[in-house]
Structure 1
Amino acid sequence: MIDPLTRRRLSYRTLYVCIALVLIFIRLMPINHVPGGLPGPDLTLALTLAWVLRRPEYVPALLIVAVFLLEDMLFWRPIGLWAVIVLGATEFTRAREQALRDLPFALEWALVAVLLVAMMLVKRLVLLVVLVEQPALGLELFQMLMTLAAYPVVVLVSRVAFGLRRAAPGEVDAFGHRM
């Protein structure tokens, strides 16, 4: 028999992978046949940041790398670059989870904005150093703003639909360990 804590973690990890796969599938569908449209938000990134800021144990590093490596391959991005950048940002927040736990949402949103800007700058700098053609800066900025605008919606859906909330200060798991 599996204990409730492990079952809960595994169910949220499975849910994260399923949501990410659905989002990837939707992005691959040929919905808009007009070339040169504006990019939408990166919902997979917003979901990952929201879940890592709320319950980092539900989204382990290996799972994040696997999802974003799959995205890199399917969307013809430099393989591994975005996965490593997202991993760095999520590990940065994971290391500060205790300090960020009781952060008001406005400051959390500001932190996500800073992370998105830093991630975009690192990506552009690496692509500049290795002399790879880059997407237009305006399109990347627009996608970053769209992702930032979608972040509160992702947090709300995660809370209402999936019951994902932050661990309260002093909260303990089923074994009495502090979370």
Structure 2
Amino acid sequence: MTDRVTLLRWAFWGLLIVTSAGLLFVKLLPLDLNAGRFPGPDLFMAIVMAWMLRRPDYVPILLVAILIFLTDLLHHDIPAIGALMAVIGLEVLRRREAGLREQPFMIEWGVVTAVLLAMLLAERILLMVFFVEQIPFGRALLQFISTIAVYPAVVFVSVFVLGVEKLQPGDDPVRSQAA
């Protein structure tokens, strides 16, 4: 029989896949929602970052990289750049997770903002070095701002609806869910 911790982990991995597929489905619908409007947030990245700072064991980096890579392919974006930036950004957050456990939400929000901004700038510099055509910087900046603006709502839903709470200092991820 499977223990509760493993079952929860698999359930959240499945939820990550379903969320990615749902967001991808909505983006692929033949609706003209983006023409001349404020670009929407990158909800998937906000969800993954919120979960990474609460339960890193719920966010397998390889799965996230594959999901972002497949999304880039289906959107006809430059493949692997988004996945590379996501892996680097998420690993930075994973290393900072223990230090942010006791910090207030505003500090967490600032760290996420800094990581997302660094990811945006690094991606643009990398594409510029290889002379790859990019979306206008203003549009990318507006998407960054909308992602940061929606992050508190994503955290609220993650914590109060899905129960993805921060580990307390000294907690073992296995024992905290098994109790």
Bin for the TM-score computed over the shorter chain: over 0.9
Q: What's 1:135 paired with?
A: 135
Q: What's 1:32 paired with?
A: 32
**Which residue type is aligned with residue 168 of structure 1?**
Q
**Which residue type is aligned with residue 118 of structure 1?**
A
Question: Aligned to 1:162, what secondary structure does the other structure show?
Answer: coil
**Which residue type is aligned with residue 117 of structure 1?**
L
| C-alpha separation in 2, matches of 1:60 and 1:151 | 20
Q: What's 1:125 paired with?
A: 125
Query: For structure 2, which runs of at least 5 residues remain unmatched after alignment?
Result: none
| C-alpha separation in 2, matches of 1:175 and 1:164 | 15
RMSD: 1.5
- What does the per-residue CA deviation read over 1:47-69, in whole Å, with 9 as the maximum and x for residues that have no partner? 11111111010111111101111
Q: TM-score of the superposition, structure 1-length normalised?
A: 0.92
Greater shift after overlay, 123-132 or 21-30?
21-30
Instruction: Figure out how many residues of one structure are paired with residues of the other and give that number.
Output: 176
Q: Is the 8 A contact 2:54 2:164 kept in 1?
A: yes
Greater RCO (CA < 8 Å, at least 6 residues apart)? 2
Tell me: CA distance 1:131–1:102, structure 2 relative to 1, closer, same or farther (3 Å).
same
Shift of 1:124: 0.4
- What does the per-residue CA deviation read over 1:92-145, in whole Å, with 9 as the maximum and x for residues that have no partner? 111222112112100111111111110110010011000011110110000000
**Which residue type is aligned with residue 47 of structure 2?**
L
| C-alpha separation in 1, matches of 2:106 and 2:34 | 36
| C-alpha separation in 2, matches of 1:116 and 1:33 | 24
Q: TM-score of the superposition, structure 2-length normalised?
A: 0.92
State the percentage of identical aligned residues: 38
| C-alpha separation in 1, matches of 2:88 and 2:95 | 11
**Which residue type is aligned with residue 143 of structure 2?**
Q
Query: For structure 1, which runs of at least 5 residues remain unmatched after alignment?
Result: none
Q: What's 1:13 paired with?
A: 13
Q: Is the 8 A contact 2:167 2:173 kept in 1?
A: no
